[in-house]
């Protein structure tokens, strides 16, 4: 069982004061405060071996606290709670405006209940079972069931689902006892033998891979474990066939060896993508797609149910015998924690972590621990992703310098993975895919120049696009709209009605147009926006016009996806100032900019306020690119002069180049943090701590 890891009270006290000192601080609180003050001014923390695990653990505590703090605005007061049926342990909580942004749809699964008239403030913990329409069905323990009175009024607060934090903490505690330095801080080997992949004579499942020199080199080096004991990195810019390369390598291993393979990804969506691709070449009897028991079985693709732990419409417990019988196991990073508690009859020879740039480093370490428990003596880790696209989602300003950098991004700064004097990577350790098979050359040009050293080669089938307002040779448009950015009550997100109207004009114009011989349908169009509220408004409008096949989502939702036509609504009209420098908030994030502009295959339309957007150098670069190619529509605008037309890849916030500081420069000792401080549940809903059993509600205040 995965232990619980409670946020230290000395740290919690400081965070509740927003990182400020207060009277009667404990010595530990003062030391935590010293660290937090330094983290405020650091963009990226360069983790060293001496403080590696301590800082990752601190980052997890900081992020969990922030997520719970963010849920406070959803607290409810004086609510009645009704039983679903007589003697049932299930209760119904009615909540007005339970839209998709509510945390119950995302990270929350624990609900804390207080009787509003009880002066003792006794707390009960319920678990959310189902969320639908305007109600939540929650399961309660007997303590609440026995004393429930339908006439009572309750105060309700939501808590984040901390299972991913528990798995990450547990991974750190295991890493602490395993010798993993060669994996986490690898050193480049100087002497090696170069083997020509052309001479190998291997057979290809996907023959197109054999015609791409970078993909071919990556597959060959993965199979022969050229990086061992260091991880092998597959650097895959947008549309370069990263997943196809991984699938080919896995298929080659399956066909030509008796080795077993573990494949992990940060999300179920990413894990499902690679599992479905594998089933084209490998029988389902060799694949085990493991899902968490909390996963809604109705969301599982029919093609994957036959090779998963989904049986008769429900997720069953991971079975030791079944997992041991499969040569390929696919799961999310958190769910692969389950493997640590199994007694498998085989050892994994390869562990793949796909979309590693989107996972926090502690999450990635979960898969590393599987190697220590179930890996053979020469298990090769393969990490794939793109550090120039969106990274881990981190809400805490204090945790961002620690957890905002993925394992993939950190490793790519180490000596084995950087370019050398000949401006090439060492292919034993890393391969950068260069051939873009997704987009028209004009669509990827800006990202190619800004982020990928102009190395990407457009190899897509350039079908002629004929559309109103489009140049057939240049299928990119920027449409200027001077609308207004607005908010709704109790929402931090924004929407822009004028931009939404212009987006709908383009949707209706584009449906029925031609891309080569293909007629564009509503299912071929995707609408991307950085703001969830704009996405919500557009979804409602599309539904009213019977255009629900048009995909709408935030940039985060669209990462990894592609459409024939992408229409982006930037929404932002406000300009902010920080340290006397103007910026446009989180739209200044170059990774968000990069992802948004690289989803389209045949045509790209960006609708936005040119005055606000050109405040950011990357956006100004795009506006100038459109202006120079006669691709500006809508309201006219002038580009302000800039000394430098092109900027290099900036920090995540895009506000300023903040420092990258080594964790060795933090003088505070980390005896205040214990790596292995988990609390094990020994009885039902009871935790063992210092030789005594405590209820869950008691543990939360220890």
- Tens digits of per-residue pLDDT, 325-336? 999 999 999 999
- Residue 118, CA atoms < 13 Å, CB-side half-sphere: 15
Does residue 331 contact residue 290 with C-beta atoms inside 8 Å? yes
Number of H helices and E strands in the chain, helices first, is 22, 34
Residue 405 has pLDDT above 70, yes or no: yes
As given in the structure block, the two tokens for residue 348 are: 């994994």
Residues in the chain: 702
Instruction: Say which residues have a Cβ less than 8 Å from residue 121's Cβ, sequence separation at least 6.
Output: 114
Residue 28 has pLDDT above 70, yes or no: yes
**Phi, psi for residue 245 in degrees, rounded to 5:** -65, -45
| Confidence grade of residue 691 (pLDDT, cut at 50, 70, 90) | very low
pLDDT in tens, 417-465: 999 888 899 999 999 999 999 999 999 999 999 999 999 999 988 777 7
Mean pLDDT value across residues 649-666? 50
Rounded CA separation 477/480 (Å)? 10
Q: Which residues lie across from 446 on neighbouring strands? A: none
Q: Torsion-angle region of residue 71: left (phi > 0), alpha (psi -120 to 50) or beta? A: alpha
pTM assigned to the model: 0.89
Does residue 380 contact residue 232 with C-beta atoms inside 8 Å? yes
Rounded CA separation 247/530 (Å)? 31
Rounded CA separation 491/308 (Å)? 39
- The residue assigned the tokens 């797609």 is 289
Rounded CA separation 280/257 (Å)? 19
**CA distances for 188 relative to 229, 424, 427, angstroms:** 10, 15, 12
Mean pLDDT value across residues 373-399? 92
Of residues 180 and 25, the one with the higher pLDDT is 25
pLDDT for 313 equals 84
Does residue 263 contact residue 356 with C-beta atoms inside 8 Å? no
Q: What angle do CA 644, 485, 561 make, to 5 degrees?
A: 70
pLDDT in tens, 499-552: 999 999 999 999 999 888 899 999 999 999 999 899 999 999 999 999 999 999
Most confident of 102-111, 553-562, 636-645: 553-562
pLDDT in tens, 64-106: 999 988 888 888 899 899 999 988 999 998 887 666 656 667 6
Rounded CA separation 77/82 (Å)? 15
pLDDT for 503 equals 97
Nearest one of 693, 695, 690, 593 to 651, comparing CA atoms: 593
3-state secondary structure of 137: strand
Residue 683 has pLDDT above 70, yes or no: no
What is the SS3 assignment for 572-619? CCCCEEECCEEECHHHHCHHHHHHHHCCEEEEEEEEECHHHHCCCHHH
pLDDT in tens, 47-68: 888 888 899 999 999 999 999 8
As given in the structure block, the two tokens for residue 482 are: 């001077």
The DSSP line for 484-502 is --B--TT----B-HHHHHH
Rounded CA separation 80/154 (Å)? 6
Residue 641 has pLDDT above 60, yes or no: yes
Q: Torsion-angle region of residue 454: left (phi > 0), alpha (psi -120 to 50) or beta? A: left
pLDDT for 106 equals 67
**Strand (E) or helix (H) holding 172:** helix 163-175
Mean pLDDT value across residues 575-586? 87
As given in the structure block, the two tokens for residue 269 are: 């969506």
Residue 283 has pLDDT above 50, yes or no: yes
CA distance from start to end of the chain: 21
- Give me the chain's average pLDDT, please: 87
pLDDT in tens, 104-148: 676 667 888 888 887 677 888 888 887 777 788 888 888 889 888
Does residue 272 contact residue 304 with C-beta atoms inside 8 Å? yes
| Confidence grade of residue 279 (pLDDT, cut at 50, 70, 90) | very high
Give yes or no for a cis peptide into 229 (omega within 30° of 0).
Answer: yes
pLDDT for 237 equals 97
Domains and CATH numbers, the chain: 74-160 (2.40.30), 206-433 (3.40.50.300), 441-634 (3.40.50.300)
């Amino acid at each position: 069982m995965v232990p619980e890891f409670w946020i230290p009270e000395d740290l919690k006290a400081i965070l509740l004061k927003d990182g400020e000192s207060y009277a009667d601080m404990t010595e530990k609180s003062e030391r935590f405060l010293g660290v937090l003050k330094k983290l405020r001014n650091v963009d990226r923390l360069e983790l060293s071996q001496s403080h590696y695990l301590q800082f990752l653990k601190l980052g997890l505590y900081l992020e969990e606290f922030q997520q719970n703090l963010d849920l406070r605005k959803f607290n409810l007061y004086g609510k009645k709670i009704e039983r679903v049926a007589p003697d049932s342990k299930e209760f119904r909580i009615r909540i007005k405006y339970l839209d998709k942004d509510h945390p119950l749809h995302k990270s929350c699964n624990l609900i804390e209940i207080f009787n509003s008239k009880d002066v003792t403030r006794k707390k009960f913990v319920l678990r959310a079972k189902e969320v639908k329409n305007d109600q939540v069905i929650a399961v309660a323990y007997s303590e609440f069931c026995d004393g429930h009175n339908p006439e009572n009024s309750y105060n309700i607060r939501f808590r984040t689902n901390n299972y991913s934090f528990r798995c990450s903490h547990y991974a750190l505690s295991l890493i602490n006892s395993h010798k993993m330095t060669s994996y986490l801080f690898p050193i480049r080997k100087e002497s090696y033998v170069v083997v020509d992949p052309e001479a190998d004579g291997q057979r290809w499942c996907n023959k197109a891979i054999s015609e791409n020199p970078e993909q071919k080199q990556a597959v060959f080096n993965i199979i022969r474990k050229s990086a061992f004991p260091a991880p092998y990195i597959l650097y895959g810019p947008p549309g370069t066939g990263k997943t196809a390369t991984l699938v080919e390598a896995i298929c080659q291993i399956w066909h030509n060896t008796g080795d077993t393979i573990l494949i992990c990804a940060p999300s179920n969506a990413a894990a499902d993508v690679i599992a479905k691709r594998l089933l084209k070449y490998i029988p389902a009897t060799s694949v085990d797609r493991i899902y968490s028991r909390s996963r809604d079985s109705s969301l599982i693709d029919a093609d994957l149910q036959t090779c998963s732990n989904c049986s008769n419409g429900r997720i069953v417990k991971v079975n030791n015998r079944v997992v041991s019988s499969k040569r390929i196991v696919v799961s999310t990073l958190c769910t692969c924690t389950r493997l640590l508690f199994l007694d498998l009859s085989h050892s994994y020879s390869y562990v793949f972590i796909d979309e590693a740039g989107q996972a926090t480093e502690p999450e990635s370490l979960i898969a590393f621990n599987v190697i220590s428990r179930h890996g053979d003596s020469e298990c090769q880790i393969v990490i794939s992703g793109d550090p120039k696209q969106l990274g881990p989602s981190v809400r805490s300003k204090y945790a961002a310098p620690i957890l905002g950098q993925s394992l993939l991004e950190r490793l790519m700064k180490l000596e084995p993975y950087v370019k050398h004097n000949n401006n090439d990577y060492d292919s034993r350790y890393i391969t950068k895919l260069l051939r873009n098979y997704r987009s028209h050359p004009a669509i990827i040009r800006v990202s190619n120049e800004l982020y990928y050293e102009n190395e990407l080669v457009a190899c897509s089938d350039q079908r002629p696009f004929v559309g109103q307002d489009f140049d057939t040779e240049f299928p990119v448009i920027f449409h200027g709209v001077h609308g207004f950015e607005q908010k709704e009550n109790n929402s931090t997100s924004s929407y822009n009605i004028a931009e939404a109207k212009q987006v709908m004009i383009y949707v209706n114009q584009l449906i029925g147009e031609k891309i080569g011989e293909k007629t564009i349908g509503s299912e071929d169009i995707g609408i991307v926006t950085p703001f969830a509220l704009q996405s919500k408004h557009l979804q409602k409008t599309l539904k009213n016009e019977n255009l629900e096949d048009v995909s709408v989502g935030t940039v985060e939702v669209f990462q990894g996806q592609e459409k024939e036509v992408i229409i982006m609504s930037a929404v932002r009209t406000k300009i902010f100032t920080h340290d006397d420098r103007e910026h446009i908030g989180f739209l200044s994030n170059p990774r968000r900019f990069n992802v948004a502009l690289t989803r389209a295959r045949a045509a790209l339309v960006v609708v936005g306020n040119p005055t606000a957007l050109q405040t950011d150098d990357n956006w100004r670069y795009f506006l100038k690119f459109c202006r120079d190619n006669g691709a500006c529509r809508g309201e006219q605008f002038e580009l302000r002069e800039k000394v430098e037309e092109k900027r290099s890849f900036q920090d995540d916030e895009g506000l300023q180049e903040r420092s990258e500081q080594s964790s060795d420069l933090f003088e505070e000792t980390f005896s205040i943090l214990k790596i292995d401080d988990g609390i094990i549940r020994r009885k039902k809903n009871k935790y063992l701590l210092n030789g005594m059993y405590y209820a869950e509600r008691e543990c939360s205040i220890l």
